[in-house]
Structure 1
């Protein structure tokens, strides 16, 4: 199944219109329409993530990379997670959220201690500083 087919199927199951999905995902309706009519062949990761969040599935499921619509695990995987102190229903992004909440270093300290990579390429000093500024802005807007 294609991304579009999967989205349409989930929309039908959940009784969502194109307009409602676009509105909830924060995507212009015209863009959602273009995606769902097949004109957008490679939607951005952000767009796929927003749609997945609204439809309450993983991006892997939307993209056809997983048959599991949510972060479900086989019993042995669940057992391993629980032994590390996580329950089956824990937030899959908890570690990332904890990390972001604990950023208390100056920009220079962050640059010294962390090397960020995106799409297989290390981020430049300028790109990393922009990310730090972005995270700080997000925090201020909470």
Structure 2
């Protein structure tokens, strides 16, 4: 009598399961390692080409307003006229006083780091003075690097 001893019968090959969980863990660890140890480099300064569509304005004869960037993250930008800091109300009073003479030409210099909203505030004050005094004010804008 023959017993079932496994002779003559083929054993099923076990299917190999590939567990990729450890490999994913290693990949994420490497990713985190390289992100933490890499150094972030700022983009290098680029030479900005001169404007081709604007007009070249002679800066003489313009009333200069300099808008300085905030010195710290929470502070406000500062406005300078004739090397003295002024508030926006003092700026308004100075513009009204200057508007009594010949047609007013204003050059707004802003540092590169000045938020655009601050320049818009200064521009808005100039526009309000022009409408209140019923005069036309010529405005030019320029970027000034911090000295």
TM-score class, shorter = under 0.3
Higher helix share: 1
TM-score of the superposed pair, with normalisation by structure 1 = 0.18
Higher strand share: 2
